[in-house]
A and B are shown apart, each in its own frame.
Chain A
Amino acid sequence: MKVLDRKLFRVLWTIKGQVIAIAMVIASGIATLVMSLSTIEALEETSAAYYERYRFADVFAQVKRAPEKLTAQIRDIPGVQTIQTRITRYTTVDVTGFSEPVIGLLSSVPEDRQPNLNQLVLRKGSWLSSQATDEVIINEPFAEAHGLAIDDVISLILNGRKKPFRIKAIALSPEHIYSLGPGMLLPDDQRFAVMWMGRKAMASAFDLESAFNDLTLTVEHQASINPILDQLDVLLAPFGGISAIERKDQISNWFVMNEIAQQKTMATILPSIFLAVSVFLTHMILSRLIATERTEIGLLKAFGYSQLQVSWHYLKMVVVICLLGITLGSLLGLMLGRYNTQMYADLFRFPLLVYQPGMQSFLLGGLISVAGALAGAMGAVSKVVQLPPAVAMSPPAPPNYQHGLFSKSWVTQWLDQPTRIAFRQIGRWPLRSFLTSTGMAFSMGLIVMTLQWNDSLGLLAQVNFFEAQKQDLMVGLAEPKKLRALHDLEHLPGVMRAEPVRYISADLRSEHRSHRGSITAMAADNQLQSIYDDAARQSVPVPDEGLILAERLAEKLQVSKGDLVRIDVLEGRRPSLLIPVVDTVETYLGMAAYANLTAMNRLLMDGELFQFANLKTDSLQAADLFYALKNTPMVSSVMVKQAALDAFNETLVEHLMVFITMFIVLAGMVAFGVTYNSTRIALSERGRELATLRVLGFTHGETSYVLLGEVTLLILLGLLLGSLVGWGLVWSMAAAFDTELFRVPLVISEATIAWSMIIVLLAAMLSFTLISGRVRRLDLIKVLKTRE
Chain B
Amino acid sequence: MTTVKKQSTKTVLSARKLTKVYHTGAIDVWALRGVDFDLYANEMVVLLGASGSGKSTLLNILGGLDVPTEGKVIYADHDISHANDKALTRFRRDHVGFVFQFYNLIPSLTALENVALVTEITPDALDPAKALDLVGLTERMNHFPAQLSGGEQQRIAIARAIAKQPDILLCDEPTGALDMQTGIMVLQAIENINQELGTTTAVITHNAVVGQMADRIIYLSDGQIAGIDVNQQRLPASQLEW
Contacts and interface: CB of A to CB of B under 8 A. Distances in A.
Nearest to A779: B146
Contacts of A391: 66
A320 to B, nearest CB: 15
A144 B94 CA distance: 82
B24 A2 contact: no
Given A3-B113, A7-B108, A304-B94, A390 B120 contact: no
A393 B164 CA distance: 21
A302 B63 CA distance: 8
B102 interface: yes
Nearest to B85: A307
A10 B107 CA distance: 10
B121 A304 contact: yes
Nearest to A388: B66
B102 A3 contact: no
B134 interface: no
A397 B25 CA distance: 10
B121 A303 contact: yes
A309 B93 CA distance: 13
A782 B107 CA distance: 12
Contacts of A295: 104
Nearest to A9: B108
A303 B116 contact: no
Contacts of B24: 397
The CB with the most chain A CB atoms within 10 A, among B65, B93, B100, B113, is that of B65
Given A397-B24, A787-B102, A305 B109 contact: no
A434 to B, nearest CB: 23
Interface string B89-122: 1101110101010101010110001001110111
The CB with the most chain B CB atoms within 10 A, among A11, A305, A400, is that of A305
Nearest to B122: A304
Contacts of A6: 109, 113
A727 B86 CA distance: 51
Given A304-B90, A390-B60, A7 B65 contact: no
Given A391-B66, A393-B104, A7 B109 contact: yes
Report the contact-size class of chain A (Cβ under 8 Å from the partner): 20 to 34
Contacts of B63: 302
Given A7-B106, A393-B104, A397-B24, A305 B89 contact: yes
Contacts of B218: none
Contacts of A298: 65
A222 interface: no
A786 interface: yes
A306 interface: yes
Given A10-B108, A303-B93, A782-B146, A4 B102 contact: no
Q: Is the interface of A mostly helix, strand, loop or mixed?
A: helix
B67 interface: yes
Contacts of A306: 85-86, 89
B118 A303 contact: yes
Contacts, number: 82
A566 B104 CA distance: 84
Interface string A300-314: 111111110100000
Contacts of A4: 117, 120
Nearest to B93: A304
Contacts of A393: 65, 100, 104
B210 to A, nearest CB: 21
Nearest to A386: B85
A303 B66 CA distance: 13
Contacts of B92: 301-304, 389
A343 interface: no
B117 A389 contact: no
Contacts of B93: 303-305
B117 A390 contact: no
Nearest to B115: A3
A14 interface: yes
Interface in A488-539: none
B108 to A, nearest CB: 4
A10 B65 contact: no
A299 interface: yes
Given A302-B65, A302-B92, A782-B146, A11 B104 contact: no
Given A295-B104, A299-B106, A389-B66, A2 B60 contact: no
A605 B160 CA distance: 103
A301 B89 contact: yes
A467 interface: no
B123 to A, nearest CB: 11
B104 A299 contact: yes
A608 interface: no
Nearest to B170: A302
A230 to B, nearest CB: 75
Nearest to A296: B106
A298 B64 CA distance: 12
A14 B108 contact: yes
B65 A390 contact: yes
Nearest to A788: B102
Given A7-B106, A7-B113, A389-B65, 14 more contacts: A6-B113, A11-B108, A301-B92, A302-B63, A303-B118, A303-B160, A304-B89, A304-B122, A305-B93, A305-B121, A307-B85, A386-B85, A389-B66, A390-B66
8 tightest A-B CB contacts, nearest first: A304-B93, A390-B66, A390-B60, A390-B65, A10-B108, A304-B92, A389-B65, A388-B66
30 contacts: A2-B120, A3-B109, A3-B113, A3-B116, A3-B120, A7-B109, A7-B117, A10-B109, A295-B104, A299-B104, A301-B92, A302-B63, A302-B98, A303-B160, A304-B96, A304-B164, A305-B93, A306-B86, A306-B89, A388-B60, A388-B65, A388-B67, A389-B60, A389-B65, A389-B66, A389-B92, A390-B56, A390-B66, A393-B104, A786-B102
